[in-house]
A and B are shown apart, each in its own frame.
Chain A
Amino acid sequence: MRRGGELLIVTLTKASLFTLGEALLGFVIGAVVGFTLGVLFVRSELAERAFMPYVVASQTVPILAIAPMVVIWGAQLGMGQQLRVGLIAAYITFFPVAINTLRGLRSPDPTAMELMRSYAASGRAVLWKLQVPSALPYIFTALKVSATASVVGAIIGELPTGTRSGLGRALLDFSQQFGARPEKLYAAVLMSALAGILFVGLITLLEHRVVHAARRQPA
């Protein structure tokens, strides 16, 4: 069970941590972009009508087609390998965040919106005191989807970038050895899954801290 003198589990743990780093980068970029788009769309119907079709269309293009473009253009712009992989992960993670943020921001009761209106509240006050807190449960649901997607995105992104240290490379190598050494691929698959689970677990912990306990009580 050694590869270059190292235990498989050590190799895979290193690879997993490396990939998780890329995934986290992509996740953060995707979450910020997704949230920003949600806010933009809720505040401007024009922006929603103009850009939403492209946001949806972006997700129908296979990531395998997008990845090489990001790799080449990113390199031309002088981006590091890790950032390029992160961008590929971000490409698939921003979408659920954008859609759910938009939905969450629209979730407050119309009466609550009128109440804010009666206080002559600014758009910013309505956003931060009513809409964003109302949207948090929706946003966290999206973040969990995005957390798993970002790991997959990072793994896929590693292939065209030629990243050697991550899970993507390990999966590729081990799938070629599958006939002779199937346990290696199984182990790599298991580690990929664990990486995703770990990430979702972290988001769930964060959710428990941010979304107040009172909101999870039966109303």
Chain B
Amino acid sequence: MTSPESVTPPPQAGLAIVARGVGKTFGTGAERVEALRGIDLSITPGEFISLIGPSGCGKSTLLRLIGDLTQPTSGTLEVNDKNPHQARLDRDYGMVFQKATLLDWRTVAKNVELPLEVMGFNSSDRATRAAEMLDLVELGRFRDHYPWQLSGGMQQRVAIARALAFRPSLLLMDEPFGALDEMTRELMQQEVLRIWTETDLTIVFVTHSIPEAVFLSNRVLVMSRRPGQIADVIETGLPQPRDEDTRESPDYYAKITEVREALRRLDRDVLET
């Protein structure tokens, strides 16, 4: 199983994310777990990339490496032509996790303002940005509500607004809709696509839903079981804008099948070894 040509990073500047031979091993001795091995990838600015793979394949770990929440044990990563640490200090990352993690003593607007407070924006700038972001996620009239008064989907939209409030160039999303019901999930996918089209964000999206990955992305990176490697890269090539009709198009189904088969090949490889 080799990394396909299309993900080998070309030697050029101006890429959003470049990984060269990135590996991550947790623990030592008998506890040693190799989570990722030899990850090469390059993501251009404005791309929407999904990472998909079986549980424990290290897709979240890869996202956390990109976001400087943990460090690789081998290889190098570059984000906006900087190391991830510098990119984090430059506030290049917005992050959204499976849990919305809103602060329950703050109103919706104050939650969106949290990163702005931390970054030293003045109060009128904060209020303007928060209002702007809440309009973007269509929650303007809930600005004075508390998190517990919102549904799971709405809470996640607040989390997205919060992640975008300081205008990062990258949005890293770790199974953000994993805890939502199917209907809400499809609405949220639509929302994220809309936001992505309205901004020039680069989005890296971790999911274990095949239709979700296909519907959202330009490219789907299929990861193998531990140690996680990039087994396949599938260009979805579906036209924009994508909407409910996209979900019923034959091309969409064809791509879903392609990703599913790529994942099944992984299982076959496991059974044969």
Residues of A within 8 A of B (CB): 109, 111-112, 114-122, 125, 129-130, 133, 211-212, 214-215, 217-219
List, in ascending order, chain B residues with CB within 8 A of A217's CB. 146, 148
- Asked if A215 and B118 sit within 8 Å, CB to CB, the answer is no
Output the nearest chain B residue to A211 by Cβ-Cβ distance.
Answer: B105
Judge if B99 is at the interface, Cβ distance under 8 Å. yes
B143 to chain A, nearest CB (A): 14
- Asked if B105 and A120 sit within 8 Å, CB to CB, the answer is no
| Most-contacted residue by chain B among A109, A120, A133 (CB, 10 A) | A120
Output the nearest chain B residue to A112 by Cβ-Cβ distance.
Answer: B101
- Asked if B148 and A119 sit within 8 Å, CB to CB, the answer is no
- Asked if B89 and A112 sit within 8 Å, CB to CB, the answer is no
- Asked if B104 and A111 sit within 8 Å, CB to CB, the answer is no
List, in ascending order, chain B residues with CB within 8 A of A109's CB. 99, 101
Q: List 6 A-B contacts (CB under 8 A).
A: A116-B118, A120-B91, A125-B118, A129-B114, A129-B117, A219-B104
Given A117-B69, A120-B89; A133-B148 close (CB under 8 Å): no
- Asked if B119 and A133 sit within 8 Å, CB to CB, the answer is no
Judge if B67 is at the interface, Cβ distance under 8 Å. yes
| Most-contacted residue by chain B among A112, A129, A214 (CB, 10 A) | A214
Given A120-B88, A125-B118, A219-B148; A115-B101 close (CB under 8 Å): yes
Interface string of B89-132 (1 = CB under 8 A from A): 10101110101010111010000001101110000000000000
Q: Chain A contact residues: over half helix, strand or loop, or mixed?
A: helix
- Asked if A119 and B119 sit within 8 Å, CB to CB, the answer is yes
- Asked if A111 and B97 sit within 8 Å, CB to CB, the answer is yes
Q: A112-B101, A117-B69, A119-B114 are in contact. List 16 more A-B contacts (CB 8 A).
A: A114-B97, A115-B97, A118-B67, A118-B69, A121-B118, A122-B118, A125-B118, A129-B118, A130-B103, A133-B103, A211-B105, A212-B105, A214-B104, A215-B105, A217-B146, A219-B148
List, in ascending order, chain A residues with CB within 8 A of B104's CB. 214-215, 219
B50 to chain A, nearest CB (A): 20
- Asked if B146 and A214 sit within 8 Å, CB to CB, the answer is yes
B157 to chain A, nearest CB (A): 16
Complex Cα spacing A212 to B148, Å: 13
Complex Cα spacing A120 to B93, Å: 10
List, in ascending order, chain B residues with CB within 8 A of A115's CB. 95, 97, 101
Interface string of B68-98 (1 = CB under 8 A from A): 0100000000000000000011010111010
B36 to chain A, nearest CB (A): 19
Complex Cα spacing A116 to B117, Å: 11
A214 to chain B, nearest CB (A): 4
A147 to chain B, nearest CB (A): 23
Complex Cα spacing A129 to B101, Å: 14
Partner of A214, one of B99, B118, B148: B148
Complex Cα spacing A111 to B91, Å: 17
List, in ascending order, chain A residues with CB within 8 A of B166's CB. 119
